[in-house]
Copies of this chain bind each other. A is one copy, B any other.
Amino acid sequence: MSYFDAASAAPLHPVARQGLLAALDDGWADPSRLYREGRRARMLLDAARETAAEAVGCRFDELVFTSSGTRAVHDGIAGATAGRRRVGRHLIVSSVEHSSVLHSAERYAAAGGAVTEVAVDRSGAVDAEGYARALRPDTALACLQSANHEVGTEQPVAAVAEACRAAGVPLLVDAAQSLGWAPVAGAWSLLAASAHKWGGPAGVGLLVVRKGVRFAPQGPADERESGRAAGFENLPAIVAAAASLRAVRAEAAREAARLRELTARIRARVPALVPDVEVVGDPERRLPGIVTFSCLYVDGETLLHELDRAGFSVSSGSSCTSSTLTPSHVLRAMGVLSEGNVRISLPPGTPAEEVERFLDVLPGVVTGVRERVGAPVGAGHPAAPSAGPAAAGADDGTSPDSPTDLSPSSSTGTSPDSPGDLPGGSVSGAPAEGPAGGALVVDALGRRCPIPVIELAKVIGDVPVGGTVLVLADDEAARLDIPAWCEMRGQAYLGEEPADQGSAYLVRRVS
């Protein structure tokens, strides 16, 4: 098995295991007690805090241990915004933050706060100047991740921190993905991180609040961890977290260079080996171990399943692999393809041979999955115009006046090769003369990703250059993937309008 999902959880570092075992014997007692076992626990806790603070680059008394990175984010945002309540009730986040940040922002908005979501470019990065423009006199807190957890893109934290400093606004950095590699540069004010992302154990997060930052812990009072993290200290795990952070840092420079080469090779080879693939994320300003790509005409869940069968554990931002039925908010914010999405995040120590084996296996797996979902024949090249009953002459290219009036009147079922394992009804992708100025109508209502895009790809050749195809779809992924398909295939995406069910997406054939 090759485990390529370190961005979710890294396997336990050997030093973490050793630290945990040692602290199980010496660190189970209450560090606030005066007796021998308590004093020993206190010494271990203090030493772990020193080690972690040194790795972060902060003072000993600025850092507390929380029960997870998520808790560090939740409690950091709650405490910092409450501490500056008198300044105002405005919060800034980027649109590609971890869900713990975005859920905190939702909660803040629900309680009456204002939230600005700063957009990212197609690489997933915010623009520092654009971020700075979001700062307002009533901004209580700004949040920015150090690097993105789904595509690996690094954010311009130092520049944003400088803009925040100039405006007198504290910046909270979610450093979950990067802290194992290096300290976060710049004049940030708060920092959150998670030990199991760097090879430490689960159950430990870090919350750093710089001296001078107003901070009002929320929730019931609790004396532990300076009142900033309620509950009995999880000391053995804290000891293991700190020890492993130091250990991974000692190996970071060498290992980062090695993993960066491996991911660069994946970035270069996958598009050459697999047709119709989009590699996403910044090619240069990125984390060493993460590379993410999406495959047209591929059902993400099936792809993950087949890769798992082939011995590769990866994750995906495709909608069909999540419980919410919506594509990853990161891919959505970037405006890139979400179907057939694969995130590779290599744990430190991954052998190059495993990556080579992945590159050997991937093309066949993708081909197999495409065949199962009935991807267009000859995927990888635009389908040739057929001689079928296309909506010839329909070339106005404007959005239909009232797409909600469209009905999939003359749809004919053209089942894909093996649709049995996909949800939804039969495929209705036959061309139709609708009231929408002669666009060819594809009814993909009730069909899930990647079927709407597949049906579009199948019929685009049936309209002449300049002709239009209207796709009716109610799958959330279509909103992202139809425009992304157009961009990848050089067709013109004309826009979306609400329909009786779902939405109507209009595409003009350009080539």
Instruction: Give the interface of A toward B (CB within 8 A).
Output: 1, 3, 5, 8-12, 17, 20-21, 24, 28-30, 33-38, 67-71, 74, 78, 99-100, 103-104, 106-107, 194, 196, 201-203, 205, 219-223, 230-237, 301, 304-305, 307-308, 312-315, 321, 323
Say which residue of B35, B70, B313, B321 sits within 8 Å of A5 (CB atoms). B35
Say which residue of B24, B36, B38 sits within 8 Å of A20 (CB atoms). B24
Say which residue of B3, B9, B221, B232 sits within 8 Å of A9 (CB atoms). B232
Number of copies: 2
**Bound state CA distance, A313 and B461, in angstroms?**
82
**Bound state CA distance, A407 and B9, in angstroms?**
68
A113 smallest CB distance to B (angstroms): 12
Say which residue of B68, B196, B304 sits within 8 Å of A67 (CB atoms). B68
Whether B236 and A34, one on each chain, are in contact in the complex, defined by CB atoms closer than 8 angstroms, is no
A84 smallest CB distance to B (angstroms): 18
**Bound state CA distance, A202 and B24, in angstroms?**
10
A323 smallest CB distance to B (angstroms): 7
Residues of the B chain whose Cβ atoms lie less than 8 Å from the Cβ of A220:
74, 100, 103-104, 106-107
Can you report 26 A-B residue pairs in the complex whose CB atoms are below 8 A from each other?
Answer: A3-B29, A9-B28, A9-B232, A10-B28, A12-B28, A20-B20, A29-B313, A35-B312, A38-B313, A67-B67, A67-B231, A67-B234, A68-B232, A70-B230, A70-B231, A71-B230, A99-B222, A100-B222, A100-B230, A103-B220, A104-B220, A202-B232, A202-B233, A202-B237, A203-B234, A205-B231
Residues of the B chain whose Cβ atoms lie less than 8 Å from the Cβ of A71:
67, 230-231
**Bound state CA distance, A205 and B231, in angstroms?**
10
**Bound state CA distance, A473 and B17, in angstroms?**
53
Whether B236 and A202, one on each chain, are in contact in the complex, defined by CB atoms closer than 8 angstroms, is yes
A243 smallest CB distance to B (angstroms): 14
**Bound state CA distance, A30 and B78, in angstroms?**
26
Starting from the known contacts A35-B314, A196-B232, A201-B234, 20 additional A-B residue pairs (CB-CB under 8 Å) come to: A3-B29, A5-B35, A5-B37, A8-B29, A21-B21, A28-B196, A34-B321, A38-B313, A67-B203, A68-B230, A68-B232, A68-B234, A78-B219, A99-B222, A106-B221, A107-B219, A202-B234, A202-B236, A203-B237, A237-B237
Say which residue of B9, B69, B304, B321 sits within 8 Å of A29 (CB atoms). B9
A235 smallest CB distance to B (angstroms): 6
Whether B304 and A232, one on each chain, are in contact in the complex, defined by CB atoms closer than 8 angstroms, is no
Residues of the B chain whose Cβ atoms lie less than 8 Å from the Cβ of A67:
67-68, 71, 203, 231, 234
**Bound state CA distance, A1 and B38, in angstroms?**
13
Whether B30 and A9, one on each chain, are in contact in the complex, defined by CB atoms closer than 8 angstroms, is yes
Residues of the B chain whose Cβ atoms lie less than 8 Å from the Cβ of A70:
222, 230-232
Nearest B residue to A68, CB-CB: B231
Residues of the B chain whose Cβ atoms lie less than 8 Å from the Cβ of A308:
34-36
Nearest B residue to A70, CB-CB: B231
Residues of the B chain whose Cβ atoms lie less than 8 Å from the Cβ of A11:
28
Residues of the B chain whose Cβ atoms lie less than 8 Å from the Cβ of A20:
20, 24
Residues of the B chain whose Cβ atoms lie less than 8 Å from the Cβ of A304:
34-35
List the 5 shortest-distance A-B pairs measured between CB atoms, nearest first: A68-B231, A67-B67, A203-B234, A35-B313, A103-B220
A240 smallest CB distance to B (angstroms): 10
Nearest B residue to A224, CB-CB: B70
**Bound state CA distance, A457 and B74, in angstroms?**
53
Nearest B residue to A75, CB-CB: B219
Nearest B residue to A219, CB-CB: B74
**Bound state CA distance, A292 and B191, in angstroms?**
43
Residues of the B chain whose Cβ atoms lie less than 8 Å from the Cβ of A30:
5, 8-9
**Bound state CA distance, A16 and B323, in angstroms?**
33
A436 smallest CB distance to B (angstroms): 39
A16 smallest CB distance to B (angstroms): 9
Residues of the B chain whose Cβ atoms lie less than 8 Å from the Cβ of A21:
21
Residues of the B chain whose Cβ atoms lie less than 8 Å from the Cβ of A203:
67, 203, 234, 237
